[in-house]
Structure 1
Amino acid sequence: MGRHPPSGAQADLKGVSAMQVAVSVLVGLAGGACALLTLASAAKTVVVPRAVPVLITRCVFGAMRLLFTAALWRSRDYRTQDRVMALFAPFGLLMLPLVWLVLVVVGYTAIFWAVGMRPVRDAFLESTSSLLTLGFRPPADTFTAVLALSEGILGLGLLALLVSYLPSIYASYSRRELMVTSLDTQAGSPPSAAELLERLERIDGIGQLDTFWQDWSRWFADIAETHTSTPVLVQFRSPEHDRSWVTAAGAVLDTAALVTSTLDTPRQPSAELCIRSGYLALHRIGAYFGMPEVPDPAPGTPISVTRTEYDAVCGRLERAGAKLVSDREQAWRDFAGWRVNYDTVLLRFAALTMAPPAPWSSDRAMPLRRRSVTRRRGRPVTGS
């Protein structure tokens, strides 16, 4: 006896069943991908010791930056801006694990739904119970129990990563700010190269700066490592409103450039190495933020410091008793040749961090524009 072909209703039923299976598989795969991408994001942000662009981390801090900027759009008082922006990096850091946990809940909710837990509300409650290890939703079977266990382990792992992440951040922050604070007594607040050199001239200290340059070379090397492996440190502000790691870096680099190019003193190789250490550090950190750079700038490339400003500082130093080189034109070209290596990236960091006004840095901050970044080999145009 021959078989009868399936009726139209039976065919439709099989089609609907196949469609449901396909949808469940796709939803489950999407949920698994969401959980795995979240885990990868946390690992790259916290564990990987290098500046790895992470989409979730960038989105969180980008959204927080927009909120904080919107809150300040009518404010013109810098102290108010500084007080508000001091919360930006800590709040962003606290929001990051919250976003990770939410994404894990969403991912596992999709997985639980895909394996047959209906409706979505039950899948969501199962996911949250597993993630927070509250246990108010006992697993229905062995496979669901394995999924719940994996989510609980993942949730605890993310929290453990955060707990281990914070002490390292604040240890790096403390090392950075110790040097920034020490510069306050030497170069004023906000710091400036002219004031630092004036004070050194009064105490006959310009020729005894080797230790100073070596300390700041190590500081630049330290921030090059910590601020690339943990880029959020860039946005952590100093405890005082008139201090900033950016303006401190600018003052030290300008001081070294003036000593190397303009002051009539024996050559100080450690000052030249300090400049190199400084601009390499700034460019390495800036590469993470997509800051454009010009490889090997040519002599004569314009800088943000004008000749008039340079001559004014020279006059100030002469009045303080400093001996300057006789060929002022060559001195200006040498100074510009050193400054051009870090000029643009310094001003972009001043804008990115909303640094307090300081001579030759944040007083002429340059807006951050993203475009393709070319690695530079980083060497001074003149003076070496």
Structure 2
Amino acid sequence: MRLIHTLGGVLILLLTIASILRTLVVPRGLYSALAYRLWWGLRTLLRLSAAPFGTYHAQDRAQTWLAPLILLGMLAVWLSSMLLAYTLLLHGISELNWAVSFREAGSSLFTLGFASGERLHLSALDFLAAASGPLVIALQIAYLPTLYAAYNRREVEVTLLQSRAGEPAWGPELLARQWLVDTETALPQLYRDWERLAADIGESHSNYPVLLSFRSPRPHRSWVVGLVTVMDAAAIHLAVSPDSAPPEARLVLRAGFTAMRDIARSLRVGFDPDPTPDTPVLLTFAEFDAAVSMITAAGFPRERPAAEAWPHFHGWRVNYEALAYELARRSDAVPALWTGPRDFRTAAIPPARPTDRRPPPDGGA
């Protein structure tokens, strides 16, 4: 039995070290079973706690706690697993009973030193345990600045998008507002900024999936809704007014669905890597037609009628709609227009309309 306990301790220790390395160290977007299970369990618990209130805002308040609970949960599981592993090892290679083995493993792992003895053949194991505890905590502490730096880069652009595309953001609203206030010349730069942000999100959120659970400071903002907004605006621009659409529109679309696919691979979400232009989408032509009418009324130059533009828009949206809906569902994002269903009952929330109007030509009040 002691041999079995020793082998069990070695196996648990190796699995714990592998989990720590793939989650905190290896920059490869590897799948972390621990992070996924903590996300699933804690998200379900928080969602059920908010369910009696029956509103999106209740869900948003509850899910705010998801990311910090996942971080604490990972640390607790790793330290508990190491404590169990060292307890099994000490019990397996010595004559210590379970209580003494647990006490010495905890004393060494947390560097307390109150249970050390003069058993030289166990000193190496005690030293290894004493090094493991601080190392895991140090890696977790070093992990936080990386997470918050990526979070801050993301939220700056999401916040800047609010005045351009409403809150919650919506692709047609983004285009309509630019022509209403004569800022359409700023769209190429916006597309460039979100192309770079999409690349950043694809790299950071696939390497550190816990970032998906970090919510925006405001309940009606979301990184995935913002990305879908910019991509929808670019797709409409290319479909309805191809001659005036800047080349940056194509670039942000490709960067956007590439980022979503990178994140999907790290989460083991299945997707079609090469969808055909006639692959069905959930967005309907009636919704697209209404959006085109709205942006045209705002002054957007329409070069194609909606019926002719629809196949072109559809051809772009098949590349990202399914993944966008899945990421929005998993992150419990604000239920903005054109972002798919959620796991809780809620109606789509349209963007809030600005109360101000376009200033008169002379710039007066």
Scaled by the length of structure 2, what TM-score is found?
0.90
The answer to whether residue 93 in structure 2 is matched with residue 109 in structure 1 is no
Which among 164, 176, 190 is matched to residue 212 of structure 1? 190
1:318 to 293, 296, 299: 296
> How big is each residue's C-alpha offset from its partner over 1:150-200, in whole Å with a ceiling of 9 and x where there is no partner?
101011110110110011101110101111000001111001112211111
- The answer to whether the Cα contact below 8 Å between 1:302 and 1:340 also exists between their aligned partners in 2 is yes
Corresponding position: 1:58 with 2:36: yes
Instruction: Give the conservation status (yes or no) of the 8 Å contact 1:264–1:323.
Output: no
The structure-2 alpha-carbon separation of the partners of 1:267 and 1:27, relative to structure 1 and needing over 3 Å to count, comes to same
2:51 is equivalent to residue 69 of structure 1: no
**Counterpart residue number, 1:360:** 338
Higher-Rg member (1/2)? 1
What is the distance in 1 between the residues matched to 2:99 and 2:343?
Answer: 50
Match of 1:342 among 317, 320, 345: 320
2:284 corresponds in structure 1 to: 306
The question of 1:159 aligning with 2:137 is answered yes
Q: Is it true that 1:82 corresponds to 2:60 in the alignment?
A: yes
Between 313-322 and 206-215, report the one with greater CA deviation.
206-215
One-letter amino acid of the counterpart of residue 318, structure 1: T
How much has 1:58 moved relative to structure 2? 2.8
Q: Secondary structure at the match of 2:290?
A: helix
Question: Helix, strand or coil: the match of 2:53?
Answer: coil
CA distance in 2, matches of 1:64, 1:54: 16
- 1:329 and 2:307 equivalent? yes
What are the Cα deviations for residues 231-260 of structure 1, in whole angstroms up to 9, with x where unaligned?
Answer: 110111101111111110111000000111
Q: What do you get for the CA RMSD once the two structures are aligned?
A: 1.6
For 2:101, the equivalent position in structure 1 comes to: 123
Aligned partner of residue 270 in structure 2, secondary structure: coil
Deviation per CA, 1:118-168, whole angstroms, max 9, x where unpaired? 320010000000011111112231121211111010111101101100111
CA contact (8 A) 2:332 2:343 kept: no
Q: Kindly tell me: are residues 127 and 248 of structure 1, through their superposed partners in 2, closer, same or farther at Cα, counting changes over 3 Å? A: same
Aligned pairs (5 A) from 1:263-282: 263=241, 265-282=243-260
Q: Quick check: 1:31–1:107 contact (8 Å CA) kept in 2? A: yes
Give the C-alpha shift of residue 366 in structure 1. 8.2
Give distance in 1, aligned partners of 2:36 and 2:174. Answer: 38
Counterpart residue identity of residue 72, structure 2:
L
Larger relative contact order (C-alpha < 8 A, sep ≥ 6)?
2
> Matches of 2:242 and 2:12 in 1, distance apart?
63
CA contact (8 A) 1:41 1:57 kept: no
What's 2:168 paired with?
Answer: 190
What CA distance in whole angstroms lies between the structure 2 residues aligned with 1:186 and 1:269? 20
1:278 alignment partner AA: G
Structure 1 runs (4+) greater than 6 angstroms displaced: none
Return the offset for 1:357: 1.7
Counterpart amino acid of residue 241 in structure 1: P
| Unpaired runs of at least 5, structure 1 | 1-22, 368-384
Q: Report how far residue 26 of structure 1 moved.
A: 1.5
Distance 1:205 1:36 in 2: 57
- What residue number does 1:4 align with? none
Contact 1:344-1:366 within 8 A present in 2 as well: no
Shift of 1:36: 2.0
- What is the rounded CA distance, in whole Å, between the counterparts of 1:270 and 1:311 in structure 2? 24
Normalising by structure 1, report the TM-score.
0.86
Aligned-pair CA distance for 1:59: 2.9
Contact between 1:250 and 1:346, CA under 8 Å: does it hold in 2? Answer: yes
> Residue in 1 aligned with 2:4?
26
**8 A contact 2:35–2:70 mirrored in 1:** no
The aligned residue for residue 98 of structure 1 is 76
Contact 2:31/2:268, CA 8 A, preserved across alignment: no
2:19 corresponds to which letter in structure 1?
Answer: S
- Name the SS for the 2:272 alignment partner: coil
Provide the residue aligned with 2:237 in structure 1: 259
Cα displacement string for residues 317-354 of structure 1 (whole angstroms, at most 9, x for unaligned residues): 12112221234322111011111111111111111111
| Residue of structure 1 equivalent to 2:224 | 246
**Kindly, what percent of the aligned residue pairs are identical?**
34
- Contact 1:264–1:324 (8 Å) recurs in 2: no
Aligned to 2:360: none
User: Hey, what's the Cα distance between the residues in 2 that align with 1:167 and 1:291?
Assistant: 27
Per the TM alignment, residue 62 of structure 1 is displaced from its structure 2 partner at its CA by: 2.9
Between stretches 36-45 and 204-213, larger displacement belongs to 204-213
> How far, CA to CA, are the matches of 1:281 and 1:121 in structure 2?
50
Q: Displacement, 1:265?
A: 4.5
2:256 counterpart letter in structure 1: G
SS where residue 209 of structure 1 aligns?
Answer: helix
Count of aligned positions: 344
Q: Structure 1 pair 322/63, CA: closer, same or farther in 2 (3 Å)?
A: closer
Q: Distance in 2 between matches of 1:320 and 1:60?
A: 46
